[in-house]
């Protein structure tokens, strides 16, 4: 490779890989093409690039961001562009400006693409992006706000808030749940003690006057509070871990909800049997 800017172009469509790279080369760029995420990741680790142009959906929806994140991690000074066939995606891209430098909507005029690349190259400075954190770190740092946002949502729910439970008792299980979900996302197993604690939580909710649908609604409101935290801190989160960490968080809440429901039903059956014996 010579002194020309080096571009890594990633797209799974053969027709685009056969037409766009030669056009870019005619404008003085060196272009290396990749058809898959795996191929792109291998090239990023072995060669230096000045520019990445990646399709948004390579093999699966949104996996272009895997390539973008890898380029940002391995070569932070390289420009990162996304190609998308969906103009409506603009709003989402606006939320992650720190991840990509710009985007182009297919089909893009070659002159427009070249002009933007040259303009960004001329303005390029060493990457000053802040260090990103895993979702688990973000949740730990924002745990109190997650709990308080959840409590506010619960207080706005007419059915749940009609149950006379002090706020301190209503929310006392949430910090533990967040801590357990964080541990699971980081690779720890859900322990028997964790599950027993939420069986007891279900029994307590029965005695407080809840119903199973309200147990479920509380859990959904917590998931919504977590989603709000993710949205507010999106640009601070490491993209490579975002999806698996989110899946683990939501999955742990669902698993412990099942244990709470089991404890609720066991308590209901126990009290019903006790009343029958007294008759």
Residue 224 CB-half CA count within 13 A: 13
CATH class of 6-123: alpha beta
pLDDT of 95 reads: 38
CA atoms of 89 and 102, how far apart (whole Å): 12
Q: Are 147 and 174 in contact (CB under 8 A)?
A: yes
Per-residue pLDDT at 128: 47
Task: Return the minimum-mean-pLDDT range out of 81-90, 195-204, 244-253.
Answer: 81-90
- Which residues of the chain does CATH 3.40.50.2300 include? 6-123
pLDDT at 1: 45
Cα–Cα distances (Å) from 215 to 1, 24, 245, in that order, read 62, 58, 24
* Separation of alpha carbons 100 and 77, rounded Å: 12
pLDDT, residue 96, reads: 54
For every residue of the chain, DSSP letters joined together read --SSPEEEEE-S-HHHHHHHHHHHHHTT-EEEEESSHHHHHHHHHHS--SEEEEES-SSSTTTHHHHHHHHHHH-TTSEEEEEES-GGGHHHHHTTTTT-SEEEESS--HHHHHHHHHHHHHH-----PPPPB-HHHHHHHTHHHHHHHHHHHHHH-HHHHTS---HHHHSTTHHHHHHHHHHHHTTPPPPHHHHHHHHHHHHHHHHHT--HHHHHHHHHHHHHHHHHHHHHTGGGB-HHHHHHHHHHHHHHHHHHHHHHHHHHHHHHHHHHHHHHHH-
Q: Which CATH superfamily is domain 135-278 in?
A: Globins (1.10.490.10)
- Range of weakest confidence among 38-52, 144-158, 228-242: 228-242
pLDDT above 90 coverage of the chain, percent: 63
Query: What dihedral do alpha carbons 86, 89, 94, 96 form, nearest 10°?
Result: -100
pLDDT tens figures, 160-182: 999 999 999 999 999 999 999 99
For the cut 80, the answer to whether the pLDDT of residue 24 exceeds it is: yes
- CATH 1.10.490.10 in the chain, residues? 135-278
Q: Confirm if 2 and 28 have CB atoms less than 8 A apart.
A: no
User: What are the CB-based long-range contacts (under 8 Å, 24+) for 123-127?
Assistant: 124/77, 124/79, 126/76, 126/77, 127/72, 127/76, 127/77
Tell me the per-residue pLDDT of 86-138, one tens digit each, with 9 for 90 and over. Answer: 655 554 454 355 477 887 888 888 899 999 999 988 887 655 445 678 899 99
As a whole number of angstroms, the distance between CA 135 and CA 226 comes to 10
pLDDT band at 2 (very low <50, low <70, confident <90, very high): low
Q: Please check whether residue 236 is in contact with residue 263, taking contact to mean a CB–CB distance below 8 angstroms.
A: no
Cα dihedral across residues 23, 25, 29, 32: positive or negative: positive
Flag the least confident range among 22-26, 31-35, 232-236: 232-236
Choose among 180, 178, 173: nearest CA to 201.
173
* Predicted pLDDT of residue 279: 66
**CA–CA gap between residue 176 and residue 198 (Å, rounded):** 10
Answer yes or no: are the C-beta atoms of 82 and 103 closer than 8 Å. Answer: yes
Mean pLDDT of all residues belonging to the chain = 88
* 52 or 92: which leads in pLDDT: 52
pTM of the model: 0.57
């Amino acid at each position: 490779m010579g002194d020309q800017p080096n571009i890594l172009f990633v797209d799974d469509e053969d027709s685009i890989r056969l037409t766009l790279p030669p056009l870019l080369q005619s404008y003085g760029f060196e272009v290396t093409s990749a058809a898959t995420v795996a191929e792109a990741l291998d090239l990023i680790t072995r060669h230096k690039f000045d520019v990445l142009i990646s399709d948004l959906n390579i093999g699966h929806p949104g996996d272009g961001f895997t390539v973008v994140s890898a380029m940002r991690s391995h070569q932070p000074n390289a420009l990162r562009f996304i190609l998308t066939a969906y103009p409506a995606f603009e709003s989402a891209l606006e939320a992650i400006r720190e991840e990509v430098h710009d985007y182009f909507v297919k089909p893009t005029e070659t002159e427009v693409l070249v002009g933007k690349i040259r303009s960004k190259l001329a303005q390029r400075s060493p990457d000053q992006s802040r260090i990103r954190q895993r979702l688990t770190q973000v949740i730990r740092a924002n745990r109190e706000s997650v709990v308080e946002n959840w409590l506010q949502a619960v207080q706005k729910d007419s059915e749940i808030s009609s149950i006379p439970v002090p706020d301190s008792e209503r929310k006392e299980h949430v910090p533990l749940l967040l801590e357990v979900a964080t541990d699971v996302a980081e690779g720890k197993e859900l322990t028997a003690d964790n599950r027993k604690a939420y069986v007891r939580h279900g029994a307590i909710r029965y005695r407080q006057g809840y119903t199973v649908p309200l147990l479920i609604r509380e859990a959904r409101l917590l998931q919504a509070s977590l989603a709000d935290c993710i949205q507010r801190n999106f640009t601070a989160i490491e993209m490579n871990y975002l999806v698996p960490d989110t899946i683990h968080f939501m999955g742990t809440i669902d698993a412990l909800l099942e244990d709470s429901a089991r404890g609720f039903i066991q308590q209901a059956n126990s009290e019903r049997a006790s009343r029958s014996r007294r008759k």
